[in-house]
Amino acid sequence: MKGCGDLALFRRSGGIKRPAASPRAASVGGSLAVRLRRSACLGSFLWLLLLGYWEVAAGMGDGEKPAAGQAAAVEVRQASAAAGTERESSQMRWSIAIHGGAGSDPAKWDVDTQSARLASLESCLRLGMERLERGDAALDVVEQVVMALEDDPLFNAGRGAVLDERGGARLDAAIMEGASKRAGAVAGVERVKHPIQLARQVMQQTSHVLVSGAAADQLAGALGLEQVEPEYFVTEKQRASWQQWQQRDAAPAQVRPNRADSSANVSVDDPLFYLGTVGCVVRDQHGRLAAGTSTGGLLGKRYGRIGDSPIIGAGTYADDASCAVSCTGIGELFIREVVAHAVAARMKLAGETLADSADHLIEQVLPVNSGGLIAVDAAGNIAMPFNTPGMSRAAADSSGWLEVKL
């Protein structure tokens, strides 16, 4: 397959740079990775569509095989320690990871949805890779990639966001630069087309970190950022989900069970349990880190509710001395454990590796089915653990390694 992608599938855990599988992440993830050499030719997109079929089959369990023909054209290889070792020893110039949310089991999605998500993740990842290859700064790359994810209605951010209890899309986003530790965030915006762009402007044009609601939208207008009617964000699919939620779950807000009180309140088989938040973490050629996250929050969330994504240290964090992190999951749980900052703190204070620190938070601190995160450290290592059945994610580095998973 050389010259046309050296394409292989292999099993891995949520943390990328460790050959050893993380038991819980591996068992709930149950995933096959897509591994492509950077010399990927035009055929890679078609391959990716085929892989959508394989991923569905993979989610069914180890014993089950894809239907005849579905994966026939794909060279399949089991994970080997060598794959991890090879990457460990390669020269690292830049690394990037993105996510499109954790949550429901991707094996239950139809093949078209699988393929579309894989293709979108890959194209957003490649946008970031091109920019990193030409030497762009981590912060710029994070902003550009998250904007692209916000534009894609497949994800719960920007257009396609889930709707709150009033049936509107009210969006949260944050961005952070690891070198300066400057950060900007917005919460509950309804009109700025790219909330991540406004978050960056809050960081650069104001002396604040977090601006919310109508005032944030007004700021976007004053700064000349592109604005849209609130209806722009509302897709038919999300309107239908909201209607289902209203018929089924919309008790008066005072008596509504709090999903964050116990993961027992969450059924990952529930089609309304959808976490499609987007995020991006980057280590650029100059060793600078940045993280960004953008979301519509949780379906049916209380009007005015703010999740973890725009809370610096909870859903988003970056520090060049440790790592950059973007989380996805039940925000209240991530806020209470200050998850993104905790990943960095364990590295700095306890000397843990990125993989160990990230796994600890996801496997030991957070309850099962609460979400996942992506993170990159100062050396360019990447971790992507999650404790839900799936997490849409993609990652690459300058050694030529690339993977896309659901």
**Residue 52 near ligand ASP by CB under 6 A:** no
CB of 99 to ligand ASP, least distance (A): 9
**Residue 281 near ligand ASP by CB under 6 A:** no
**Residue 298 near ligand ASP by CB under 6 A:** yes
CB of 270 to ligand ASP, least distance (A): 14
- CB closer to ligand ASP, 158 vs 380: 158
Q: At what angle do helices 111-133 and 138-151 cross, to 10 degrees?
A: 160
Q: Exposed, middle or buried: residue 49 (CB in 10 Å: 0-12, 13-18, 19+)?
A: middle
Find the binder of ligand ASP among 115, 328, 370, 388 (CB under 6 A). Answer: 328
| Rounded Cα distance, 121 and 99, in Å | 8
**Residue 328: both structure tokens together:** 């996805």
**Residue 309 near ligand ASP by CB under 6 A:** yes
Q: Which of 277, 295, 316, 388 is catalytic?
A: 277
| H/E stretch holding 47 | helix 44-59
**Residue 100 near ligand ASP by CB under 6 A:** no
User: Is 249 within 8 Å of 300 (Cβ atoms)?
Assistant: yes
Residues from 354 through 373 that contact ligand ASP (CB under 6 A):
371
| Rounded Cα distance, 160 and 143, in Å | 18
Reduced to 3 states (helix: H, G, I; strand: E, B; else coil), residue 151 is: helix
Find the binder of ligand ASP among 5, 168, 331, 380 (CB under 6 A). Answer: 331
- CB closer to ligand ASP, 30 vs 103: 103
Residues from 180 through 239 that contact ligand ASP (CB under 6 A):
none
Q: At what angle do helices 111-133 and 44-59 cross, to 10 degrees?
A: 130
Q: Which residue has the tokens 């971790």?
A: 383
Q: Which stretch binds ligand ASP (CB under 6 A): 107-115, 178-186, 191-199, 326-334?
A: 326-334
Side-chain-side CA neighbours of residue 376 (13 Å): 32
Residues from 141 through 170 that contact ligand ASP (CB under 6 A):
156
CB of 64 to ligand ASP, least distance (A): 29
**Residue 191: both structure tokens together:** 């009109």
CB of 323 to ligand ASP, least distance (A): 19
Task: Count residues near ligand ASP (CB under 6 A).
Answer: 17
Find the binder of ligand ASP among 5, 101, 160, 184 (CB under 6 A). Answer: 101
Site string for ligand ASP, 261-280 (x = CB under 6 A): --------------xxx---
Find the binder of ligand ASP among 295, 316, 388, 399 (CB under 6 A). Answer: 295
**Residue 106 near ligand ASP by CB under 6 A:** no
Single-letter amino acid, residue 58: A
Strand partners, 183: 176
**Residue 31 near ligand ASP by CB under 6 A:** no
Q: Which residue has the tokens 């089924």?
A: 248
**Residue 241 near ligand ASP by CB under 6 A:** no
Whole-Å CA distances, 224 to 59, 221, 293: 45, 5, 22
| H/E stretch holding 294 | strand 289-295
Phi, psi of 4 (to 5 degrees): -125, 30
The sign of the torsion formed by the CA atoms of 29, 31, 34, 35 equals positive
Catalytic residue check, 388: no
- CB closer to ligand ASP, 343 vs 378: 343
Reduced to 3 states (helix: H, G, I; strand: E, B; else coil), residue 129 is: helix
Query: Interface residues with ligand ASP (CB under 6 A)?
Result: 101, 156, 275-277, 295, 297-298, 307-309, 315, 328-331, 371
Active site (catalytic) residues:
277
